[in-house]
Amino acid sequence: MEFTSRKILVTGADGFIGSHLVELLLEKGFKVRALSYYNSFNYWGWLEDIPSNPNLEIVTGDIRDPHFCKVLTKGVDLIFHLAALIAIPYSYVAPDSYVDTNIKGTLNICQAAKENGDIRLIHTSTSEVYGTALYVPIDEKHPRQAQSPYSATKIGADAIAMSFYNAFELPVTIARPFNTFGPRQSARAIIPSIISQIAKGIKEIKLGDLTPTRDFNFVKDTCAGFLSIAESNLTIGKEVNLCSNREISMLDTLNLIKKIMNSDVRFVNDSQRVRPEKSEVFRLWGDNRLLKELTGFEPRFSIEKGLEVTCNWFLLPENLKKYKADIYNV
């Protein structure tokens, strides 16, 4: 079967990265089954912004239910597993939810993929599993450091996924995106939080520590990287960083946003937004050599270009109105 003829399942399709990945797959001509988290409003998250498409099937449900997952994965040839709880501050107050969704949910998807014919699975990790860099750039051999309940559950989820490759030969790849940004990102993240507040005319913005560095990646690059991983059998059984191989401080990132938006906004330290000292990840700079070696993929967007596109998206009134800029998103 040619890769382009396959039917693809995307879990977490209603979220930021998931919705962009669904768009990319539809553009490439794939048939897509998109999982949106079940709710009584029949609301599909960011999938609401995707035009109707005969190749798109939207399903609502919850990966915490193993019976549902078995039905969900029937008839698909490839799974991009993105569904997860991801907000770090919320993991401090509700860690059990993260265990249920991130670890047990991943187990359910892996078991369903195995029982429904050893379906190819791209499991989504996070650079947070590495914690503060012990060396840079961070390659896939870097030690894992659980510096938050969120990162601990993602370490556990990665281990579950890889165990299915080792124990049952399930064709699994762990894709590990570093800090992705772009249109539709939740305001709990620093880049959309700053852009939306500046766009709404707020002149003083409260922030936590601005000294940490991050390896920021525009969402279109992250999604193209996902697809390149799926297209290569060389990635099976591997953990692969999705990153830019560069770092930038939070402060420098925010000053870039100020420049792009021609803003004179002031940044003010707020202790409520500072992570516990041992939980803060102070440095992330990813090594993307393995991704290039296995797939030939290289990112196309500079951080400046990605921020320009993101700022322009937020400045559209129909997009900005979806964000509550005056509320601290946990």
Give SS3 for 84: coil
Token reading at 221:
């690059």
State how beta strands 204-207 and 266-269 pair.
Answer: parallel
User: pLDDT tens for residues 103-138?
Assistant: 999 999 999 999 999 999 999 999 999 999 999 999
Give SS3 for 325: coil
Label residue 1 by pLDDT band (50, 70, 90).
very low
Alpha carbons within 13 A on the beta-carbon side of 257: 27
Q: Spell out the domains of the chain, with CATH numbers in brackets.
A: 3-180+217-242 (3.40.50.720), 182-214+247-284+302-320 (3.90.25.10)
Phi, then psi, of 79 in degrees rounded to 5:
-125, 125
Let me know: does 126 contact 83? Beta carbons within 8 Å. Answer: no
pLDDT at residue 195, as a whole number: 96
Q: Give me the helices (H) in the chain, please.
A: 16-27, 66-72, 88-93, 95-98, 105-115, 149-168, 190-199, 219-230, 250-260, 289-295, 303-314, 317-320
pLDDT at residue 83, as a whole number: 98
pTM (2 d.p.): 0.96
User: pLDDT tens for residues 27-80?
Assistant: 999 999 999 999 999 999 999 999 999 999 999 999 999 999 999 999 999 999
Let me know: does 15 contact 81? Beta carbons within 8 Å. Answer: no
Residue 75 per-residue DSSP state: T
CA–CA dist 159, 167 (Å, integer): 12
CA–CA dist 222, 18 (Å, integer): 10
Average model confidence (pLDDT) for the chain? Answer: 95
pLDDT at residue 328, as a whole number: 72
User: pLDDT tens for residues 89-112?
Assistant: 999 999 999 999 999 999 999 999
